[in-house]
Amino acid sequence: MSIAPTLQKYLAAENIQYEVIPHERSMTSARTAEACHISSDRLAKGIVLRRDGEYVLAVLPASHHLLLPELKTKLGNSVHMADETEINLLFRDCAYGAVPALGKCYGLDIIVDDSIQAQPDIYMEAGDHETLLHMGHAQFARLTANVPHGRFSAHD
């Protein structure tokens, strides 16, 4: 599959420079980081949440786990994890479980954990389990410039 068409069109429209990194098939972000010889601190993962009938993508490092109570403080108590069916409907051109860490192109609001925003460069799923996107901090910062951020994850 390589890069999901929705994601590819969005990056082109935003004039974002990125590198495509093919890797052996992996089903977890930890295994993907290992296969690509990158720090899981620099691998952004997206977690889809439901809030008042709308969806939000929380972006955090693959080396971290989501602290839902912290996120509820920022977004409100009505925040819940989206289920597999909802995620598949939102990311129709992506493989199951290969959610890119950019929600705008899929019509989602996002919130970015400060720990991923602090990285010098960012890697993320491209929509399948065999392709990563790599971009510099400045490119990622442009894509997330006006979105909420904060601390809502902890290192595993």
Query: By the 8 A CB rule, do 71 and 49 touch?
Result: yes
**Any idea where the domains of the chain sit in the sequence?**
5-155
Q: CB 106: neighbour CB atoms within 10 A?
A: 22
pLDDT tens per residue, the chain (156 residues)?
489 999 999 999 999 999 999 988 887 888 888 888 899 999 999 999 999 889 999 999 999 999 999 999 989 889 999 999 999 999 999 998 899 999 999 999 999 999 998 899 999 999 999 999 999 999 999 999 999 999 999 998
Joined tokens for residue 96:
């199951």
State the pTM of this model. 0.94
Give the model's pLDDT for residue 92.
95
Of 118, 130, 117, 121, nearest to 36 by C-alpha is 130
Domain 5-155 is of which CATH architecture?
Alpha-Beta Complex (3.90)
Distance CA 102, CA 140 (A): 9
Query: By the 8 A CB rule, do 4 and 125 touch?
Result: no
Joined tokens for residue 35:
């296969």
